[in-house]
Amino acid sequence: MIKSLLLFVSIILLSGCMPVKKEEIYGKYLVEFPFGSQTLKLNRDGTYEQIVIITWNADTTRHNGKWKYSDNYTYILLFNGLSVVDPYCSLRTNYKIPIDGIVVAAPIQYLPWFTISLTTGCEEYYYKQIEYFPDTSSTE
């Protein structure tokens, strides 16, 4: 019984972290922070939308930009994106101002779950996929 359980756990762990294909990334994601939430929408045309909602004042900030994904490096790059969390796990005072650079996030496939990891200076946050945008360009 114990050997069977160990074998099962080993198989799950070894097969759990899978490479992610670009086609699987398109969609809408949600991450929650102690002070609010952020929605990230990755569109097929290479654009993104970030929506940040701050809980205590119901302030909503929207930002649009371009994103890129490389199968070789398995990172999502948000060009001039909003960076919401400071190195102390608090809301950045200038979170509404896009950074001059790249926000990096890592897509992770844990069977059967898919998430995007956002590592800050203090903690790792996970975006939960709440909507998938399938390819509708093919005709039958």
Q: What percent of the chain has pLDDT over 70?
A: 77
* CA–CA separation, 84 and 52 (whole Å): 8
Q: Are 68 and 77 in contact (CB under 8 A)?
A: yes
pLDDT digits (tens, 9 = 90+) for 101-124: 888 888 887 666 667 887 667 777
pLDDT digits (tens, 9 = 90+) for 43-80: 999 999 999 999 999 899 999 999 999 777 678 999 99
Confidence class of residue 13 from pLDDT cuts 50, 70 and 90? Answer: very low
pLDDT(2) > 70: no
Q: Which of 132, 105, 94, 87 is nearest to 31 (CA)?
A: 105
* CA–CA separation, 57 and 73 (whole Å): 38
All domains in the chain, ordered by first residue: 16-132 (2.40.128)
Kindly report whether the global pTM for this prediction surpasses the value 0.85: no
